[in-house]
Amino acid sequence: MIILSDDIIFRKAVIHLLNVELGKFAPAQDLFMMQPDVIELVRKQVCYLLNSDELKAADWNTKEPVFQKLEQMNEKDDKSFIQTSAYLADRLFDIMCDSVEIPSADLLYLSFQTNQEIYYALIKLNYQNSFMHELMKYDNEEIISNIRHKKILPLGKRISEGIIFNLSLQKVMLKEKKYEMLNGDKIYYLTERFLRSIAQTEAKRKYQILSSTIKIINKKYPEDGLEHQMVQKLLL
């Protein structure tokens, strides 16, 4: 079922700073009050995440700390909401520090509802290197210089990492990327280290595997392959 951005209603949000390069974890102390333009941007990103063909399901494991904390949280209580999100952010930050590849980020934790179901989302707003111009005067001459700075999610940029939880259905879905850890292993750290769960193959990857398999069969057995069979059916 396709979910539209207008179907998403935000309930609460909090944002934490996870700066691996500086070794700085700054948990939020208060709820994040989003302005209307930010609400619209985040709503579109959550909608994209929910409808993405790169979204995959993972097992709900009540024995693991992440799921236990979510089940114990009282979403209606601001203190419980903030403390739970801070615990999750701290846990994620420790894992991020075990890699030189995982980008620093602002971690947005929010609750929202759609189709009468309440969801919780962890959205990783990865920092990106960018440049801005600065106009300076030197010896009465104007000089334009470039300043390197970091920015979070720019307009039009899609989320590359995020997790969505539905407690009532005990369902977790995520979009993630592989990164190399300090021990040399390249892993899906959100599934394997953060959730400690097992994820299914996303729809996009399933299609790629199926297409690749069909091409191999057709190439190896041109007279018996799937493409030949489809042509024969069309001729009947």
Per-residue pLDDT of 20-35, as tens digits, reads 999 999 999 999 998 8
Name the pLDDT band for 6 (thresholds 50, 70, 90). confident
Q: Has residue 197 been placed in a domain?
A: no
Q: The tokens 């399933």 sit on which residue?
A: 206
CB 55 within 8 A of CB 49: yes
Query: pTM for the complete prediction?
Result: 0.76
Q: Has residue 218 been placed in a domain?
A: no
Position 176 scores a pLDDT of 95
Q: Has residue 55 been placed in a domain?
A: yes
The number of domains in the chain is 1
User: Higher pLDDT residue, 102 or 35?
Assistant: 102
Q: Has residue 210 been placed in a domain?
A: no
Q: What is the mean pLDDT of residues 168-184?
A: 95
Assess whether pLDDT exceeds 90 at residue 67. Answer: yes
Contacts with 109 (C-beta within 8 Å, 6 or more apart), sequence order: 13, 14, 15, 16, 85, 88, 89, 120, 121, 122, 123
User: Higher pLDDT residue, 54 or 154?
Assistant: 54
Give the mean pLDDT of the chain: 82
Q: Has residue 126 been placed in a domain?
A: yes
Q: Has residue 203 been placed in a domain?
A: no
Q: What is the mean pLDDT of residues 122-138?
A: 67
Position 149 scores a pLDDT of 42
Q: Has residue 205 been placed in a domain?
A: no
CA distances to 79, 96, 177, 219 from 188, in Å:
31, 12, 6, 32
Contacts with 144 (C-beta within 8 Å, 6 or more apart), sequence order: 133, 134, 135, 136
Position 131 scores a pLDDT of 47
Assess whether pLDDT exceeds 60 at residue 134. Answer: no
Task: Give the whole-angstrom CA distance, residue 27 versus residue 38.
Answer: 20
Reading the block at residue 24, the tokens are: 């700085």
Name the pLDDT band for 119 (thresholds 50, 70, 90). very high
Q: Has residue 113 been placed in a domain?
A: yes
- Residue 157 domain boundaries: 5-177
Closest CA to 153 of 125, 134, 133: 125
